């Protein structure tokens, strides 16, 4: 039985989540390993969510937001870009595998791209294997 990754996806309401909806309505296939949480803007994301997700057993975390410049709230994703870049550096320096955390800018019309990114990311996590470093052992 091959390993089925548990992936947490956090998608901003206006772009990525809508894009994911589009992928759904156009019947695009993508792996069901991703569990999507909707936030109003990518800048709502507290880096502690990501650390906590890994502690609670997520094998991968994928963040999706509007393209910089297109944020529904004008500047949210510009802050998020900086903040999540720091989160990525911290995860790397602590020794977490770099491929487990990814940020993508996916707009509402990019249903295709959403499906593609999820497919790619799921495969990447499958190759990396279960995440054991942060995960709280039972």
Partner 1 sequence: MAISFEQIEQHLKTEALKLLESGKVILVLAYGRGYDANHPMPYVAKHPSDVDNIVFNEYCTANLARYLTRYPRRTKIAIAVKAADSRAVVQLIQEDKVCREDLVVLGIPVYGMKNFKTGEVIDSKTTGGLYNPVLYDILLGEEVHGQPVSSPYDVLAAYEAMDKEERWAFWQRELGRCIRCYACRKACPMCYCDPCFIDQNKPKWGEKSPESPGNLMYHLTRFHHLAGRCIDCGECSRACPVDIPLYLFHKKVAKDCEEMFGQAAGMSIGDKPVLVNFRVDDSDKILE
Partner 2 sequence: MLVLKKTTIDKLPELAACLMEKGTLVAPVKEAGGFNFRAITDAAQVDLIFHNTILSPKTVFFPQTEDFVRYSVYQPILEAKPVEPEIRPTFLFGVRPCDVKSFEIMDIHFTRTGVPDPYWRKRRDATIIFGFAFDTSEEADPAEFYHTLGIGAADPDGSDVFMLRRDDVLFLKAVSPRGENLLGGLAGLTDAAPDERKYFDDYIAQGHDYKTRYTCVDAEAIAKEFEAIFHNTDFWTKVSNACLSCGICTFVCPTCYCFDICDETQFGQGVRRRVWDACMFTDFTLEASGHNPRTQVYQRLRQKICHKYSFHIRKYGPISCVGCGRCTRYCPVNIDIFSIVEQAVQAKWYKRM
> According to the binding rule CB under 8 A, does residue 86 interact with partner 2?
no
**Look-up of token digits 């990518």:** 42
Q: Residue 126: which residues within 8 A CB-CB, separation 6 or more?
A: 2, 3, 4, 5
Q: How far apart are CA 133 and CA 129, in angstroms?
A: 12
Which of 59, 110 has the CB closer to partner 2? 59
- Site map 1..40 versus partner 1, x via CB under 8 A: ----------------------------------------
- Comparing C-alpha atoms, which of 49, 47, 48, 38 is closest to residue 12? 38
List the interface residues with partner 1, window 53-112 (CB under 8 A): 55, 68-69, 75, 78-79, 81-90, 92-98, 103, 105
Residue 29 touches partner 2, criterion: CB under 8 A: no
The rounded distance, in Å, linking the Cα atoms of 125 and 5 is 7
128 binds partner 1 per the rule CB under 8 A: no
Give the tokens for residue 8: 């947490």
Q: Give 38 or 89: the residue with its C-beta nearer to partner 1.
A: 89
- Residue 6 contacts by C-beta under 8 Å, 6 or more apart in sequence? 33, 35, 57, 58, 59, 60
Q: CA-CA distance, 90 to 48, in Å (whole number)? A: 12
Please report, as residue ranges, which positions from 30 to 69 form the binding site for partner 2 (by CB under 8 A): 56-57
Q: Which residues bind partner 1 (CB under 8 A)?
A: 47-48, 51-52, 55, 68-69, 75, 78-79, 81-90, 92-98, 103, 105, 133-134, 136
Q: Which residues bind partner 2 (CB under 8 A)?
A: 56-57, 136, 138
């Amino acid at each position: 039985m091959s390993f089925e990754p548990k992936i947490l996806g956090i998608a901003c309401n206006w772009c990525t989540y809508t894009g994911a909806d589009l992928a759904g309505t156009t019947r695009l296939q993508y792996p069901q390993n991703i569990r999507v949480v909707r936030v109003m803007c990518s800048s709502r994301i507290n880096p502690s969510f990501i650390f906590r997700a890994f502690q609670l057993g997520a094998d991968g975390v994928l963040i999706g937001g509007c393209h910089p410049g297109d944020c529904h709230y004008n500047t949210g994703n510009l802050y998020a870009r900086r903040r999540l870049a720091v989160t990525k550096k911290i995860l790397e320096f602590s020794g977490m595998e770099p491929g487990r955390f990814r940020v993508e800018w996916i707009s509402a019309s990019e249903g295709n791209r959403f499906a593609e990114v999820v497919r790619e990311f799921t495969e990447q996590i499958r190759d990396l294997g279960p995440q054991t470093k942060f995960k709280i052992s039972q």
